[in-house]
Amino acid sequence: MKNKTVIVPIIIILGVLLIDQILKIWVKSHMMIGDEIHIFGDRVMLKFVENPGMAFGMEFGGNWGKLALSIFRILAVGGLIWYLVVLIKKKSNLFIISCISLIIAGAAGNLIDCAFYGLMFNESFGQVAQMFPDGGGYSGFLAGNVVDMFYCPIIRWGTPPDESIFFRPIFNVADSAITISVFLMIIFYKKLLPKGEEKTEPTETKAE
């Protein structure tokens, strides 16, 4: 397809954003903080938490840290979009274009939470949040929390309270998009190299 370097990133970004936001809004409007929906027993579940900081539930510097992180996300998304446009104009490898598109979608998805969810919803502690409540939201612009819900404690050993769990982070679709993109770029890094940059063995000249 002639314009696939334009169409593919648009589909990726809009598709990831749509799935991410539909799931977050459903969780926010149907579950309370701490609620769980078990999908595959105790190994894969939806567990509603709100993350005031970085990806995978990590926190960063309180309210000022949250504001700084939100501003950083805005700058990062803007910079990545600019870089994506440059790649598209150069008709670069579709693989790297797709990976950058996944990162943009993931960063933008979490940015939407930070920017607008505090205005759109009330608190989820002890109650299911309402969208656009009469009393207003739980925080201001760029002060909202990121909605996380995927919890996959794949390996457990020991017994409570001394139980150990492998992979405790709770994450969302946006986090997954960023992580998958980074892993793909690491695994298939050779595809990112311009053609002709593979190392060639030096040829030996025979003495006459």
The residues assigned a catalytic role are 148, 175
Rounded distance between C-alpha atoms, residue 151 and residue 68, angstroms: 27
DSSP state of 121: B
Query: Among 131, 113, 110, 111, which residue's Cα sits nearest to residue 122?
Result: 131
Number of Cα atoms under 13 Å in the Cβ half of residue 99: 19
CB 204 within 8 A of CB 192: no
Locate 111 and state its tokens. 């940015």
DSSP 105-116: HHHHHHHHIIII
Rounded distance between C-alpha atoms, residue 23 and residue 69, angstroms: 23
SS3 139: coil
H/E element holding 172?
A: none
